[in-house]
Structure 1
């Protein structure tokens, strides 16, 4: 069983890297909306701000400034720059546990977003700036996958990544389909933007061609077992990595792998045909609550456990 501080740092490194990429996509879609239809820009900006928990909807009137803040604001804990800086700090704390290739790739991304030329690079070409960060984050993941031993450390890195992905995408779907008191968002441009935010436009079109319907999008992003950014795929990976990590501990009857198994089964055996748009909110709330419970259980089991739990009698 690895040290708690090592597991914690690798777990959070995965979460922050995933958060940074998600924010890049939200920012890029928000900026692209200003080019396609002026009346859609504000709506997409409102969706993005709601998805990241920002209640200041006045920012939606200036999508470019909102995207710039989401990318570069070092005082905002949700921003791309802050997320990457925190990922790098966690990596620095466990430098001996990750490979040189993994560290160097993350460090290069950090220098890109925190360097003196970052603001100018964003101003000169915001979309290119965001796409370059996404590409660099993919290279980081590739380096980690290709050079790190696929043991406990690698599992905690991926565990953080997939749990963050499930929660971020769950909140995004809540904005569209989660409030039963309001009509779900069904505007074609907004739905296409949702697919772009989820990196799902091309996979979705290959499955359903040009039939962009909200109920099909909800089904694809929640329940598709092969698409790596669906909630079902993410929760299956969470359960897989937790089951492997939990072999080394006595987690008790409410261990995180059991919670993850329950969530995996909930999505695997959900009656998809009977989940209508207006009723998706209850399931999304349950998924997010169970993800939060898994996070707490991970801390209780692997990070904040008492010494007596790990010492032999």
Structure 2
């Protein structure tokens, strides 16, 4: 259960050009503000001019220094070091919206994990271009919005969805088998805040009907890929992938059924890592801290 997060637990993500003194500067700063580091992970692509990435969990004395004051003070050391960074309080739940079409296996996995306390988020709404899952979603006490999408109404439908997301102060979006291609405007409105599950082991079988393509190719492994959405179809930074061994006896339908299990696992892991601030995006790749 991911409940009862410490009120004073904070997370810091840092990325920058690698150079000497970064860890010292950050740890000294936290020490000066009575911060107690409880976990620290770091990764360097190349000590000679490469990129440096770091994730720190630490406890702070909120009676002495407010969180906003701490962030403001950290900016003063981050600027001269050219750090890209984010700092969050662990107990503040991220607000997640789910988009879904007709298939419900990924949707129900996320809802079950949320209900059981395994997924530390708030879910203010679910949006779908079909009404099939309205009763199932509302049974969890979550508002369901049916926004049909056609070629003629796509612009208006996306704007309606964007308005709902902003009204509900959504932090990130999960496409739980939402079978629509989002417009550049939508993607730009929520940069690296949209997680998609693609039902193949990317970069293989990009686009529609990957299980049919996998069957035709006679693959021995099928997979699923959770990734951030960009304007390049199914080519955004990969967060998680998983695979399942199959054989010549599997029909296209068998592959699809088996694949649903992998999709649920890969997507739920990706969402968990995102909500726990374990991911740093650099160019078209991700660094995932354990």
Answer whether TM exceeds 0.5 for this pair: no
TM-score (normalised: structure 1): 0.27
Structure number with the higher strand fraction is 2
TM-score (norm 2): 0.28
Higher RCO (CA < 8 A, seq sep 6+): 1
Higher helix share: 1
